[in-house]
Structure 1
Amino acid sequence: MTPAPTLTTARLLLRGPEKRDLAPFTKWVTTSARMKAVGGNDNEGNAWRGFLAGIGHWQWHGYGLFTVTDKATGIAAGRVGILHHVEWPQPELAWHVYDGFEGKSYAFEAACAVREWAGGTLGLQPLISLIAPTNFRSLNLATRLGCVEESRDKVRDEKVIVFRHLRHDDPRARTQASRAIA
């Protein structure tokens, strides 16, 4: 369905979105309390449109959000990848972890793999992440990834902190990737 490659880490398989991934994504969008950090819960129709926009990224940009699956179970644990919506200042490394998969470092592991792929394979400059000031889990993850706050801005009328990621070949990023991907 998408031209997405498959990336693997120690515990995860990152692959392009498939039809079966719509249900867990829709459940997250419509019911997760953590959606508050990204604008709030939404309805099934908008979840469907958001899911298709993710597929469109792969077709339009050649990158997008991977479905993150637990290797041991094959269950979708979230989405991590690169977004570049029309309102975005540049490509963003983004992550969504579904309920029940938080606190396992899946987003960290997947983000390390995507950062390595984005820089090493696609040649993208160090990516940004746009994070709401109240999204404490994402703020902590950005810090753990070695991101540096670059500015504060508004995107789609929402306040965001713009974080700059490490270059994929920065020694700190290489160390993180070798531990996460091994």
Structure 2
Amino acid sequence: MTPAPTLTTARLVLRGPQKRDLAAFTAWVTQSARMDAVGGAGTERDAWRGFIAGIGHWQWHGYGFFTVTERDSGIATGRVGIVNHIEWPQPEMAWHMFDGFEGRSYAFEAACAVRDWAGRTLGLEPLISLIAPENTRSIALATRLGATEERRDVVDGEKCIVFRHLSYNDSRAVTQAAGAIA
């Protein structure tokens, strides 16, 4: 369905979006309290459009959101990937964990794999993450990944903190120390 590669970590498989992922994505968009950090909850129509746009992103850029699945169960746990929307300052590494899968370090493990893939394969480095100032969980994850606050900005009409991630070579030590690569 998409040109996304498959990335494998110790506990996860990251793959391109598939039709079977739409239900979990829709539940996240329409019901998750964490949607407040990305503009607020949406409708089923918003979820559909976002899901289809994600597939189109892969076609247009050759990168996008991976669906993060548990290696053992195959259950979709969230999305982690690289996005570059119109008027974005540059490609961004972003993450969204579905309800019930936060707090397991899945986002960290997946983000390490995506960051390494983006640097090694695409030459996209060092990446940024655009994080709402009130999104303390994402700020903590960016910091754990070794990213540092670069500046405060407004992107797409929303206030954000621009975090700058480590380059591919510098990030290898963080990734290996965490055991995030299989």
> In the alignment, what sits opposite 1:35?
35
**1:139 alignment partner, SS class:** helix
What is the CA-CA distance between 1:53 and the residue it aligns to? 1.1
Residues paired across the two proteins, number: 180
**2:153 alignment partner, SS class:** strand
Give the partner amino acid of 2:64. Answer: G
Give the partner amino acid of 1:161. Answer: I
Aligned counterparts of 2:6 and 2:113: Cα–Cα separation in 1: 11
Moved runs in structure 1, 4+ residues, more than 6 A?
A: none
What is the CA-CA distance between 1:57 and the residue it aligns to? 1.0
Give the partner amino acid of 1:177. Answer: T
TM-score (norm 2): 0.97
What is the CA-CA distance between 1:7 and the residue it aligns to? 0.1
| 8 Å Cα contact 2:30/2:43 also seen in 1 | yes
Aligned counterparts of 2:53 and 2:153: Cα–Cα separation in 1: 23
Aligned counterparts of 1:57 and 1:167: Cα–Cα separation in 2: 23
Unaligned segments of structure 1, at least 5 residues: none
> In the alignment, what sits opposite 1:176?
174
Aligned counterparts of 2:74 and 2:125: Cα–Cα separation in 1: 32
> In the alignment, what sits opposite 1:70?
70
Give the partner amino acid of 1:75. Answer: I
Aligned counterparts of 2:172 and 2:134: Cα–Cα separation in 1: 29
What is the CA-CA distance between 1:135 and the residue it aligns to? 0.5
What is the CA-CA distance between 1:176 and the residue it aligns to? 2.6
Unaligned segments of structure 2, at least 5 residues: none
Aligned counterparts of 2:136 and 2:102: Cα–Cα separation in 1: 13
What is the CA-CA distance between 1:112 and the residue it aligns to? 0.2
CA RMSD of aligned residues (A): 0.7
Residue deviations 1:60-112 (CA, integer Å, cap 9, x gap): 00000000000111100000000000021000000000000000000000000
Aligned counterparts of 2:27 and 2:50: Cα–Cα separation in 1: 13
Percent identity of paired positions between Structure 1 and Structure 2: 73
Aligned counterparts of 1:168 and 1:43: Cα–Cα separation in 2: 37
> In the alignment, what sits opposite 1:114?
114
Residue deviations 1:120-142 (CA, integer Å, cap 9, x gap): 01111210000000001100000
